[in-house]
C-alpha cells in the first residue's frame, strides 16, 4: 500500500472493518485501539506506520496482562487489532474476516437466552448485559456436559467462577459474579432451575476503581470558544456541548433529544435515558435554552423528524449517539487541548455540585444514577472538603524515644 499518514491509515482500516461486516460497536472499538496506536506513533515522532512502534504497543499490552492490569479478553482485543492494522498496512485489505455470528448453543439454552431478552422486568440494557454474560456461562456448561439448569448448584457456580478467574481481570470477575447471581435468581423464579444458595456468591472479590478526571473549567471555556457559532455546524455543536456542560447529559441522550422532551413553558428537560431506560427531569437553564432555540430557528434543516439535532448535510437524519462526543473531541483539538472523553463533562457537573456543598444523593439524582455508589467517586474531586474532614494533630505530643547509647545498649 502507498505510504499513508498513520491517521489516514486508521481511517481507511476503520472503513474496511465496516465493509467486512463488523457491527458498529465492534468497528468503533477497533478504531479506538488503532487511534491509541496512532498516538503512540505520534509521541515517538513517527508520522507513518512503523512495525517497531506496533511491536512496542503489543509488548506493553503483554506487560499489562502479566501484571493483572487488564484481563485476557482486553489483552486479546489489543493484540489482534494491532495485527489487523499491520496486515491492512501491508496488503490494503483485511484477510481476517469476522466470524459469521456467535456459535449457536443447543436449543435448550438458546430458548432460555431468548426468554432473557424478552424479560421486560429488566431494562433493555440490563437484558442485553445478562444475555451476554449468561451465554458465556451456558457455553461453559455445555463444555462440562451439563445440559439442564436443574443440575446447577453451589459447586458448579464456584467451579465456573474459578474458571473465569484465570481469564479475566478482578473487576470483570466481580461483575460476572453479580450478573450470574441475578441470572440464577431469574431461573428459579420461572421454574427452570433450583434456588442457588446465597453463600455461593457471598465471597468477596478485591476490585479496584479508577477515579477518572473531570474537565477543568478553563478547558471547557476554551473548547466552547473554539466553536464558530456563525456556521450551521457551529450553532448545533455549541448547543449540544453546552447541554452537556450545564446538565451533564450523556452523548447518547443529547443525540436522541426530541422536541417533546423540552417543556419550554416550565423550563424543563424530561427524557428517558438511553443507557438506563429511567426517566430524568432537569432544569432548562436560560443559556442552554437560548442556544438550542437559536439552532432550531436559524440552522436546523427542515425535517419532520422529532429529533432536535440533525445532520447538517443531506440526508438530514438524526445524529448517531457518538456525534456529540466526536465534535467535542474535534473542538478540543482545535483549542490545542489533549483528547478527553465526553463523559468528562458529566464528571465536571458532578464535581461542581459536590464542591458547592450539594449532597451526594442529590448529585446522583441529577445525573440520573439510581445507585448512589456511582456518584461517590465525585467526592474525591472536592480536595478542600476532604481537608476539612482531616484530623488535626494539634495537641498531640510525639512520644519521647531514648537514643541508643554509645555502647549500643538501650535504656530499659
Q: Which residues pair with 48 in a beta bridge?
A: 5
Torsion of Cα atoms, 336 then 223 then 377 then 359, to 10°: 150
Torsion of Cα atoms, 70 then 71 then 72 then 73, to 10°: -100
- Predicted TM-score (pTM) above 0.75: no
- Backbone φ and ψ of 281, nearest 5°: -120, 130
Residue 364 has what pLDDT?
A: 61
Residue 222 has what pLDDT?
A: 94
Is residue 149 within 8 Å of 191, Cβ to Cβ? no
d(CA 237, CA 291): 10
CA–CA–CA angle 357, 358, 362 (5° rounding): 170
205 — alpha (psi -120 to 50), left (phi > 0) or beta? Answer: beta
The rounded Cα 242 to chain-centroid distance in angstroms is 21
Torsion of Cα atoms, 141 then 145 then 149 then 154, to 10°: -70
Is residue 278 within 8 Å of 370, Cβ to Cβ? yes
Residue 383 has what pLDDT?
A: 44
Q: Which CATH class is domain 217-354?
A: mainly alpha
Residue 141 has what pLDDT?
A: 93
Nearest to 248 by CA among 92, 367, 100: 367
Per-residue pLDDT of the chain (412 residues; tens, 9 = 90+): 456 789 999 999 999 888 887 888 888 999 999 999 999 999 998 888 888 899 899 988 888 887 777 877 788 889 989 988 988 888 888 765 444 445 678 899 999 999 999 988 888 888 988 998 999 999 999 999 999 998 888 888 888 888 887 777 767 778 888 899 899 889 888 888 777 776 677 666 655 555 556 788 899 999 999 999 999 999 999 999 999 888 888 899 999 999 999 999 999 999 998 888 888 888 888 999 999 999 999 999 999 999 999 998 888 888 888 889 889 989 999 999 988 878 788 877 777 766 666 665 665 666 665 554 555 555 444 444 434 444 444 554 554 545 444 444 444 3
Residue 87 corresponds to which cell in the numbers above? 496486515
Residue 381 has what pLDDT?
A: 47
CATH architecture type of domain 107-200: Orthogonal Bundle (1.10)
d(CA 52, CA 112): 48
Residue 374 corresponds to which cell in the numbers above? 456511582
Helix spans in 70-165 (H): 72-91, 107-117, 124-143, 154-165
Amino acid at each position: 500500500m502507498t505510504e499513508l499518514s498513520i491517521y489516514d491509515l486508521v481511517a481507511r482500516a476503520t472503513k474496511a472493518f465496516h465493509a467486512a461486516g463488523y457491527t458498529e460497536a465492534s468497528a468503533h472499538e477497533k478504531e479506538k485501539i488503532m487511534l491509541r496506536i496512532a498516538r503512540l506513533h505520534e509521541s515517538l515522532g513517527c508520522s507513518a506506520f512503523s512495525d517497531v512502534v506496533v511491536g512496542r504497543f503489543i509488548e506493553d499490552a503483554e506487560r499489562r496482562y502479566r501484571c493483572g492490569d487488564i484481563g485476557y479478553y482486553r489483552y486479546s482485543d489489543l493484540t489482534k487489532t494491532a495485527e489487523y492494522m499491520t496486515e491492512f498496512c501491508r496488503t490494503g485489505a483485511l484477510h481476517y474476516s469476522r466470524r459469521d455470528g456467535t456459535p449457536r448453543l443447543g436449543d435448550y439454552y438458546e430458548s432460555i437466552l431468548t426468554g432473557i431478552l424478552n424479560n421486560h422486568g429488566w431494562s433493555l440494557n440490563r437484558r442485553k448485559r445478562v444475555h451476554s454474560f449468561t451465554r458465556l456461562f451456558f457455553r461453559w456448561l455445555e463444555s462440562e456436559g451439563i445440559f439442564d439448569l436443574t443440575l446447577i448448584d453451589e459447586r458448579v457456580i464456584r467451579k465456573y467462577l474459578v474458571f473465569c478467574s484465570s481469564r479475566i481481570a478482578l473487576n470483570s470477575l466481580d461483575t460476572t459474579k453479580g450478573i450470574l447471581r441475578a441470572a440464577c435468581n431469574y431461573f428459579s423464579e420461572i421454574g427452570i432451575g433450583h434456588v442457588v444458595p446465597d453463600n455461593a456468591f457471598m465471597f468477596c472479590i478485591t476490585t479496584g476503581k479508577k477515579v477518572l478526571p473531570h474537565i477543568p473549567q478553563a478547558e471547557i471555556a476554551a473548547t466552547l470558544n473554539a466553536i464558530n457559532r456563525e456556521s450551521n455546524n457551529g450553532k448545533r455543536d455549541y448547543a449540544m456541548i453546552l447541554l452537556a456542560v450545564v446538565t451533564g447529559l450523556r452523548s447518547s441522550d443529547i443525540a436522541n433529544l426530541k422536541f417533546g422532551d423540552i417543556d419550554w413553558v416550565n423550563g424543563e428537560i424530561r427524557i428517558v435515558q438511553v443507557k438506563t431506560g429511567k426517566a430524568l427531569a432537569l432544569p432548562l437553564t436560560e443559556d442552554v435554552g437560548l442556544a438550542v432555540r437559536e439552532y432550531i430557528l436559524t440552522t436546523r434543516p427542515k425535517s419532520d423528524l422529532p429529533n432536535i439535532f440533525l445532520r447538517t448535510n443531506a440526508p438530514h437524519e438524526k445524529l448517531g449517539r457518538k456525534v456529540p462526543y466526536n465534535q467535542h473531541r474535534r473542538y478540543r483539538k482545535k483549542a490545542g487541548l489533549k483528547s478527553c472523553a465526553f463523559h468528562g463533562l458529566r464528571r465536571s457537573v458532578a464535581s461542581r455540585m459536590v464542591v458547592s456543598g450539594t449532597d451526594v444523593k442529590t448529585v446522583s439524582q441529577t445525573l440520573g444514577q439510581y445507585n448512589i455508589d456511582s456518584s461517590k467517586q465525585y467526592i474525591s474531586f472536592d480536595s478542600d472538603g476532604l481537608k476539612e474532614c482531616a484530623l488535626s494533630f494539634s495537641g498531640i505530643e510525639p512520644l519521647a524515644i531514648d537514643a541508643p547509647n554509645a555502647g549500643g545498649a538501650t535504656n530499659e
